[in-house]
Amino acid sequence: MAEPECTLVFLALVGAGVIVGRWMWPFAVPLAFWPRIAAGTVVSLAGATLVISARIWFTRTGQSPVPWKRSPELLVKGIYHYTRNPMYLGVTTFQFGLGILLGNLWISILAPVALAIVHFIAVRPEDAYLADKFGESYLRYKVEVHRYI
């Protein structure tokens, strides 16, 4: 998740969740303290694991995870065998878990909204670039591997 605009979208919606939950309309996670901490930690770590796993595959292949840099090779191994967008999915999952961890359901609710925004400002343009660059192999990959889950 290196693209500044995407990072700002997620941060802005975490901030919006904090503001709404704290000063406008509190919406707490309906779990006792320790179960909430445990659940939020597990979900957040799952999201972080997705992001780290994707970055590892970029590093292994000598590519940059920065979306505006050209991709010399189509990544289809590791986590990319299961999801075409593990970094965006990971950051969304992390934000969802963070909301649980902090007891602020708004942060969690706004996680899919952040992903929807990022989908239009980053994922669709990346899809078009990869289809143009890798042609038939990317189109086959799209059929075989889901975008998110």
Over the stretch 96-108, which tens digit does the pLDDT of each residue have? 999 999 999 999 9
Rg from Cα positions in the chain: 17
Identify residue 103 by its one-letter amino acid code. G
Compute the distance between CA of residue 102 and CA of residue 66 in angstroms, rounded to an integer.
30
- Per domain, the residue ranges of the chain are 4-144
So what's the pLDDT on residue 109?
Answer: 97
**What CATH number does the domain located at 4-144 have?**
1.20.120.1630
The set of residues, in sequence order, having a beta carbon less than 8 Å from that of 130 and lying 6+ positions away, is 71, 74, 138
Mean pLDDT of 47-55: 95
Structure tokens at 106: 């708004």
So what's the pLDDT on residue 1?
Answer: 40
Structure tokens at 11: 């941060």
Q: Where does the pLDDT of residue 67 fall: very low under 50, low under 70, confident under 90, or very high at 90 and above?
A: low
- 22-31 pLDDT tens trace: 999 888 888 9
